[in-house]
Chain A
Amino acid sequence: MENEREGGEQQEIAVEKAQQDLERKARDLVRLALFHEQRRTPLKRDEISKKVLGSSSRSFNVVFAAANAILQKTFGMELVELHSTTADKEISEKDAEMLKTAGVKKKATSTGTKNYILRSQLDPAIIEKALSPDAEIRELEQSEHPDANEEFAEDDNPIGTRSTGSIFAWHNADQLPSVGILYVILALILVEGRVINDNDLRNILKRLQLPPNGPVPLSSKSSTQSLTIDAYLSQLTRQGYLEKHRVGNTRAGGTKRGRPSQHANAANDDGTLAAYEWHWGPRAMAEVGERAVAEFVAEFMAVRLGEEGVDEDAVGAPDDEGTRKRVQGIFKGIERAASGAPLADVR
């Protein structure tokens, strides 16, 4: 009897220890993920195994699930695996149509990259609301910190100081302008048929006052001193938002929509410059997805600038029927422009 009881107790203790061990590992993974997200570098599975799991590498799934539970409950975030982009592209237009009509779901091929990032787990409706301007909140902010601007009074860099009173104070946390630039680039790639020629992109960026050696607007609080557009593009590539391919590389390079200014100089032995083209990277697919970017563009295009009653700081489109119809029309236009597979949602 004695032995049985002892055995039972020992079992309980063992279970409790295992539970505590799991909780500790889950917390470690949460910390590791948060830390990596600061630099926007994906967290590799190898690193997770080494730093969190240690010897019990087979417990990845359990620890991963437990970590996600903490992330969701505490931060409203989730840790997700990035998927490689090649799988999406390989579906030709015809196949896409066929799959749609046949009602077949795209096979979940092994597209996992064993790289993980954090993203928000909140409902998109909440996110949009939390980004919307609010005059009341802005007044409160200003009354609480009347000297907020004095801190940087000597430096007349306004970036990162203006608030619209939105619930998510992005102007404090992250680099709003550089994010704006990134998403416009993603939009351009999408509407040019999911790929844009390097020359074409640079020409458009120039029109937008962003020449290759020009500065990316940063706030005074930024840890980076200065950043050129070129350097920024490289950074975005490293972080997985964009991919840069040489023309003539994988499949038939070149854009799907002809642009008059396009030069498709192939890579060469005779010394001429090779051309590059830009695609979305896996991180963009996970963080925002094609549908959301199309919505962003469509709602933006539907804005009637200079019209009375239009809130300058609004982040969406006004919700009247006329606008909604316009937005839908533009959205369809983007779908056609993207050509190929239907617009992908976040994955």
Chain B
Amino acid sequence: MSDDESAREHVEYDPDQDPEEARSIRRQFRHLEQQLTDSQDLTTEEVAEKLRSANKLFKHGKLIFAAVQAINEATKDSNLLVRFSEISAAKARAMKSGSGAFDVDDFVARLITYMGGRKPVSPADDEDEDEEESEYHAGAPLDWERIGRRALAKSRRVPAMDFIRCGLHVRRLGPLSIEAKKRAVAKRAVLEKNKDDMKKPQEITEEDITRSENETTKNVATVEKILGAIEGQVNLFKFVINPNDFGQSVENLFYLSFLIRDGKCAFEIESETGEPVIMLCEQPTQEDYDDGLLKHQMVLEFDLETWQRAIEVFDIKEAMIPPRAKSEMRIGQKWYG
């Protein structure tokens, strides 16, 4: 009998199997199928248990396993396996979708998509699942700013702004620094040392100013004397111009202006020749002013060109006012001439 059994174990297909046995197997298969079809809510454990009992069924004496010979039974057998695998897959999906463990790889993949590394796959594109992988643009840089904003929305991080540049608060904010104070002190010490070498602007005292004042008065008096020595009137330009020295000419005009201001010298345009002439005269008295005598002002522009032209026009050959030595005005410690 045992020989027969072992012999039968190796037989794959035996259409002549005992019909009673065949019926029994079919019944048990149907039973299992029904259990799997009806109860959708089998837990993983229960599914495993069913699989085990099916296996026991198959292994029972190895007879039944070996008895799966008729095509009928074989069909039922594969159906059962399909059912098992379907349920297992569903269980696996359920685990992924959140009722179970956290999937880090999924997290990373989503980050890449979110930051622009991939085109997002909308639910409608599920059919194109094969193309999902090929749409990954490996070169596209990820937009980390996007995820940064999401992170900050949950964080208590404070912005590290450059307060020191904020004009309003410049004095109040900024680092406390003992070191900074030390540096300031050091700088001042250096300054002290070089004081002696330092140049100070010239200090002008009252003395200096007085001296130059005296000089002007003297010169005006001289000009007055010379003018007085001339009888009648004289051409203005002939009088002030020194054909050899523009500077002296200007000074002469300057000193003359004092005389005119004081009313000691009169200025006229000669009616016949149109020449500007001057002459010494009597100073008007207070009475004259009370009677209505008015003071007039005149601005005479005297530049190099005018000086040269006048020399030409009036054929001025020599100065009527003797040139003065370079005035030595002492201002402070230096002489300005």
Q: Do A and B bind each other?
A: yes
> Which one, A3-11, A35-43, A98-106, A144-152, is touching chain B?
A35-43
| A91 interface hit (Cβ, 8 Å) | no
Q: Which of A93-123 contact B (CB under 8 A)?
A: 118-122
What 20 new A-B contacts, CB under 8 Å, besides A180-B150, A296-B151? A27-B172, A34-B173, A35-B173, A38-B161, A51-B178, A124-B154, A124-B156, A127-B155, A166-B149, A174-B160, A177-B145, A287-B156, A288-B154, A293-B154, A296-B154, A306-B120, A306-B122, A312-B146, A315-B150, A329-B98
| B152 interface hit (Cβ, 8 Å) | yes
- A selection of 23 A-B contacts at a CB cut-off of 8 Å is A31-B176, A37-B160, A38-B163, A40-B160, A77-B158, A120-B157, A127-B154, A128-B154, A164-B149, A173-B160, A173-B161, A174-B160, A179-B157, A180-B145, A207-B112, A208-B111, A208-B112, A217-B141, A303-B110, A305-B113, A306-B120, A316-B153, A336-B102
Chain B contact-residue range equals: 35 or more
A158 to B174, CA, bound (A): 31
Q: Which of A131, A164, A293, A303 has the most CB of B within 10 A?
A: A131
A313 to B144, CA, bound (A): 12
Chain B positions 87 through 113: 1 when the CB is less than 8 Å from some CB of chain A, otherwise 0: 000000000011111101011101111
Q: Are A176 and B156 in contact (CB under 8 A)?
A: no
Which residues of chain B come closer than 8 Å to A168, judged between CB atoms?
152, 159
| B243 interface hit (Cβ, 8 Å) | no
Which residues of chain B come closer than 8 Å to A178, judged between CB atoms?
144, 148
Q: How far is the CB of B125 from chain A (nearest CB, A)?
A: 8
A295 to B150, CA, bound (A): 10
Question: Chain B residue with minimal CB distance to A297?
Answer: B107
Q: Which of B279-319 contact A (CB under 8 A)?
A: none
Q: Are A303 and B161 in contact (CB under 8 A)?
A: no
| B147 interface hit (Cβ, 8 Å) | yes
A235 to B107, CA, bound (A): 25
Residue of B98, B142, B153, B162 near A127 (CB, 8 A) is: B153
Which residues of chain A come closer than 8 Å to B141, judged between CB atoms?
209, 217
Question: Chain B residue with minimal CB distance to A52?
Answer: B176
| A81 interface hit (Cβ, 8 Å) | no
Chain A contact-residue range equals: 35 or more
| A267 interface hit (Cβ, 8 Å) | no
Question: Chain A residue with minimal CB distance to B113?
Answer: A305
Q: Are B155 and A288 in contact (CB under 8 A)?
A: yes
Residue of A121, A300, A330 near B114 (CB, 8 A) is: A300
Q: Are B150 and A288 in contact (CB under 8 A)?
A: no
Chain B positions 222 through 255: 1 when the CB is less than 8 Å from some CB of chain A, otherwise 0: 0000000000000000000000000000000000
Q: Are A303 and B114 in contact (CB under 8 A)?
A: yes
| A87 interface hit (Cβ, 8 Å) | no
A303 to B117, CA, bound (A): 16
Given A37-B158, A39-B160, A346-B156, verify A180-B102 contact (CB < 8 Å): no
A39 to B172, CA, bound (A): 19
Report A's interface with B, CB cutoff 8 A: 27-28, 31-32, 34-35, 37-40, 51-52, 75, 77, 118-122, 124, 127-128, 131-132, 159, 162, 164, 166, 168, 170-171, 173-174, 176-184, 187-188, 191-192, 204, 207-209, 217, 287-288, 292-293, 295-297, 299-301, 303-307, 312-313, 315-316, 326, 329-330, 333-334, 336-337, 346
Q: Are B159 and A174 in contact (CB under 8 A)?
A: yes
Q: How far is the CB of B172 from chain A (nearest CB, A)?
A: 7
Q: Are A209 and B117 in contact (CB under 8 A)?
A: yes
Q: Are B153 and A180 in contact (CB under 8 A)?
A: no
Which residues of chain A come closer than 8 Å to B161, judged between CB atoms?
38, 173
| B121 interface hit (Cβ, 8 Å) | yes
Residue of B151, B163, B176, B178 near A179 (CB, 8 A) is: B151
